[in-house]
């Protein structure tokens, strides 16, 4: 790996003024300060044991899972542990009324019973390289922001293509520190990943929306898969001849449990943070982006719930979709609330005032940084105007109703008609859509989608300015008094995208789609979105340089501050300790929860708090075996001070000797502003205790075969 730029390297070596808990560190760039802090907290591992390209290390047990989560290898034969909510969509695809794995769970008693998952892959990191100089080749002081963006994108494409060559690897070039640095990551991709264990809904999804993003929790948020390879050990598509992976590294499991002050380390793939953003970003999230997302998703979830509660088949079809919508619905509710409560906007304003005082104290600094907020303000003036409509175009428009969203996949075929392509080519293109049609209608309820679409369009029309609205939504709203119910009903009755038989009939003799009401509305929304996007790009060109310089200037001004990079779905390491916390006046939370708390929340027949009979029987007998703590309790969840965010779901919680002690799955309500500002006193990571997941495997799933495969200490 090339040396880091002098600026970044100097910062990595700087003394930390923040507590060790804060920070999503690049594990390949751990320095003496990091290691000293980790060792003082209880880590007994060397940097090479944690992360190395020269020898097997813990890094080799950590994977990107399914394109949005983290997983870890926990056995010599490729067993992979991740969160229940990370694997939910794949379990849902395998489920039916006859085999309701979502409700009842799934437990493979042998490798022969493990279920393949189409479309699921995991990535193992095998190379890291600083490519900043190559990415910025051709960029100089005279380059405009639009030109810079074009040059950078072109260089990144060229670098990725050249490094990949004809190899079966994935190559990504990722910006750091607001585009002041670029790093290349290379991954091996394994595409044969089979389901091994999924606990029943009353364990894996216990507490559902009510408990989401809160502590105390009582959730067994885990699934187990297995990675398979070709017989020679190389990555391969699914085949019956494939064999379980021979793990390069796997995590033993420690049954000792946790107590306050215990060291806890997490390796994973956090998705996105914006800790160094300006006050303008925070203001926009509070007043524009956050409320718009909340309104759209509240409407969507209300209609999901109505249909899911009435029909178990619909529940199975929409369980994963509902969970996906719900997760960040509640996230944004909490984020907006805690940004206000924690006065993040005011803190950013004060920081910017300090920054400008520092800038104005030196002529050279004033020449470089003196005008940066002019562009930043211009950027956010535009975004404050369009952000609400921008969100609605996405959340309530082209990605709102499912039929509208699905119809977009036929844009290329419709374009072929405009280009007067050969009829045989058009028919062949239509026939190629058959797998997508099968997948879509397998998990599609037309009555549900009709209600969702009408409700979202009503909201779109009601909550947006006429000049920032798609022309068709404006027209239909004006003609129908803002009520889209009848229009949507007629559109759904006529469109080919709401009925499989109609669509398949069209595929046999395709014709232009311009008159299909759903497709026409989707195209109008997209056209309107593109107009808004042009303004978005204008805003970026006005303000991105200023924000990049602000990042650079902050790093110069605060030389003693530990400037770890924002999360960007690359591998990171965080370290902290197991700790309770005080949430508010007279509200003090313990650091762990138990099965007693699970039973206390039990509500028979409730989709969030029902518990399977066999689990209740085990709990009533206190049949916890070797997984009970010294007080005879079965610990379910615990909390640590680690710094994580979305994407860290499924990350391992590791003790000072490299053993698995838990599985990270959530953050807490009081620190929901954490993606923009780390909340030192209250920010916590919520984890499944390793003993609870082993108890579920042995006592609930009766999978002694899995227990025997693990290394348990």
- Segment holding 39, helix H or strand E: helix 32-41
Q: Which residue blocks in 370-508 are alpha helix, DSSP H?
A: 372-392, 402-407, 411-418, 423-431, 434-442, 446-463, 471-479, 485-494, 500-508
CA pseudo-torsion sign 639, 641, 642, 645: positive
Q: Does the active-site annotation cover 221? A: yes
**307 among known catalytic residues:** no
Cα–Cα distances (Å) from 382 to 237, 533, 686, in that order, read 46, 11, 38
Tell me the Cα Rg of the chain: 26
Contact status, residue 602 vs residue 218, Cβ threshold 8 Å: no
CB 174 within 8 A of CB 182: yes
Between CA 60 and CA 247 the distance in angstroms is 8
Distances (CA, A) of 228 to 91, 225, 375, 451: 18, 10, 51, 42
Residues near 318 by beta carbon (within 8 Å), at least 6 away in sequence: 304, 307, 308, 443, 445, 448
Give the per-residue SS3 of 138-156. Answer: CCCCCCCHHHHHHHHHHHH
Give bridge partners of residue 195 from the DSSP assignment.
115, 225
Centroid of chain to Cα 587: 30
Alpha helices in 165-230 (DSSP H): 201-204, 208-211
What are 474's strand-pairing partners?
none
Q: How far apart are the first and last CA of the chain?
A: 36
Spatial neighbors of 323 by CB under 8 A, at least 6 apart, are: 85, 88, 205
Q: Is 260 helix (H, G, I), strand (E, B) or coil?
A: coil
Catalytic choice (121, 247, 277, 649): 649
Burial bucket for residue 612 (CB in 10 Å: 0-12, 13-18, 19+): middle
The catalytic residue among 85, 218, 307, 393 is 85
- Tell me the C-alpha distance between 535 and 382, whole Å: 7
Q: Can you read off the two tokens belonging to residue 509? A: 């003799």
The tokens of 144 are what? 């405009």
Question: Which residue, among 74, 77, 72, has the nearest Cα to 268 in the 3D structure?
Answer: 72
* C-alpha 404 chain-centroid distance: 24
* Phi-psi group of 421: left, alpha or beta (phi > 0 → left; psi -120 to 50 → alpha; rest → beta): beta
Instruction: Find the farthest-apart pair of alpha carbons in the chain and give their distance in angstroms, rounded.
Output: 76
Q: Please state whether beta strands 106-107 and 652-654 pair in parallel, antiparallel, or not at all (unpaired).
A: unpaired
Of 21, 130, 192, 221, catalytic: 221
Helix residue ranges, H only, 311-422: 312-341, 344-360, 363-369, 372-392, 402-407, 411-418
The question of whether 166 is a catalytic residue gets the answer no
State the DSSP string of 561-588.
Answer: S--PPPP-SS-EEEEEEB--EEEETTEE
Active site residues: 85, 221, 649
């Amino acid at each position: 790996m090339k040396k880091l730029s002098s600026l970044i390297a100097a910062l990595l070596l700087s003394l930390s003024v923040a507590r060790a808990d804060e920070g999503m560190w690049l594990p390949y760039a751990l320095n003496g300060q990091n290691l000293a802090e980790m060792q003082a907290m209880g880590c007994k591992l060397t940097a090479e044991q944690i992360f190395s390209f020269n020898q097997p290390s813990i890094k080799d047990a950590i994977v990107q899972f399914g394109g949005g989560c983290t997983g870890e290898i926990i056995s010599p034969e490729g067993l992979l542990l991740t969160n229940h909510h990370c694997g939910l969509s794949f379990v849902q695809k395998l489920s039916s009324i006859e085999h309701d794995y979502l409700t009842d769970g799934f437990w493979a008693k042998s490798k022969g019973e493990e279920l393949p998952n189409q479309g699921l892959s995991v990535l193992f990191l095998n190379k890291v390289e600083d490519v900043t100089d190559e990415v910025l080749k051709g960029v100089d002081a005279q380059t405009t922001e639009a030109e810079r963006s074009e040059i950078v994108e072109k260089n990144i494409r060229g670098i990725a293509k050249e490094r990949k060559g004809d190899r079966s690897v994935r190559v990504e070039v990722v910006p750091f520190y607001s585009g002041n640095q670029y790093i290349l990551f290379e991954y091996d991709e394994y595409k044969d990943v089979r389901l091994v264990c999924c606990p029943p809904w009353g364990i894996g999804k216990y507490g559902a929306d009510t408990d989401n993003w809160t502590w105390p929790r009582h959730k067994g948020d885990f699934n187990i898969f297995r990675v398979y390879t070709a017989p020679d050990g190389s990555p391969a598509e699914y085949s019956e001849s494939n064999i379980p992976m021979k793990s390069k590294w796997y995590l033993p499991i420690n049954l000792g449990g946790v107590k306050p002050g215990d060291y806890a380390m997490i390796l994973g793939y956090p998705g996105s943070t914006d800790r160094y953003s300006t006050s303008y970003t925070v203001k926009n999230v509070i007043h524009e982006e956050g409320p718009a997302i909340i309104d759209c998703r509240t409407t969507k979830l209300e209609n999901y719930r109505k249909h899911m509660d009435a029909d178990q088949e619909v529940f199975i079809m929409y369980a994963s979709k509902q969970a996906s919508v719900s997760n960040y619905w509640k996230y944004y509710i909490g984020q907006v609330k805690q940004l206000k409560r924690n006065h993040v906007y005011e803190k950013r304003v004060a920081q910017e005032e300090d920054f400008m005082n520092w800038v104005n104290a030196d002529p050279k600094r004033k020449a470089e940084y003196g005008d940066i907020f002019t562009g930043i303000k211009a950027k956010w003036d535009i975004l404050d105007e369009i952000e609400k409509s921008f969100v609605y175009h996405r959340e309530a428009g082209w990605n709102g109703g499912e039929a509208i969203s699905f119809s977009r996949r036929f844009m290329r075929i419709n374009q072929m008609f405009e280009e007067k392509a050969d009829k045989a080519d058009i028919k062949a293109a239509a026939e190629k859509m058959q797998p997508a049609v099968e997948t879509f209608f397998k998990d599609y309820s037309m009555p549900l989608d009709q209600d969702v679409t009408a409700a979202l369009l009503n909201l779109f029309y009601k909550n947006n300015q006429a000049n920032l609205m798609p022309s068709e939504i404006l027209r239909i709203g004006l003609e129908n008094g803002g009520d889209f119910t009848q229009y949507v009903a007629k559109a759904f009755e006529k469109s080919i995208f709401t009925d499989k038989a109609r669509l398949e009939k069209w595929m046999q003799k395709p014709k232009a789609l311009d008159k299909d009401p759903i497709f026409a509305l989707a195209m109008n929304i997209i056209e309107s979105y593109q107009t808004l996007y042009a303004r978005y790009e204008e805003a970026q060109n006005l303000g991105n340089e200023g924000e990049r310089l602000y990042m650079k200037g902050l790093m110069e001004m605060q030389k003693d501050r530990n400037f770890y990079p924002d999360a960007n779905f690359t591998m990171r390491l965080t370290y902290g300790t197991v700790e309770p916390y005080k949430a508010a006046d007279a509200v003090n939370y313990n650091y762990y929860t138990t099965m007693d708390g699970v039973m206390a929340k039990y509500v028979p027949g409730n989709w969030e708090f029902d518990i399977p009979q066999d689990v209740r029987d085990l709990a009533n007998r206190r049949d916890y075996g070797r997984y009970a703590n010294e007080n005879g309790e079965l610990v379910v969840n615990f909390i640590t001070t680690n710094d994580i965010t979305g994407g860290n779901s499924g990350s391992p919680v590791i003790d000072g000797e490299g053993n698995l002690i838990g599985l990270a799955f959530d953050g807490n309500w009081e620190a929901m502003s954490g993606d923009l500002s780390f909340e030192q006193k209250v920010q916590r990571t919520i984890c499944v205790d390793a003993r609870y997941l082993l108890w579920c495997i042995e006592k609930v799933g009766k999978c002694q075969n899995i227990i025997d495969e693990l290394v348990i200490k």
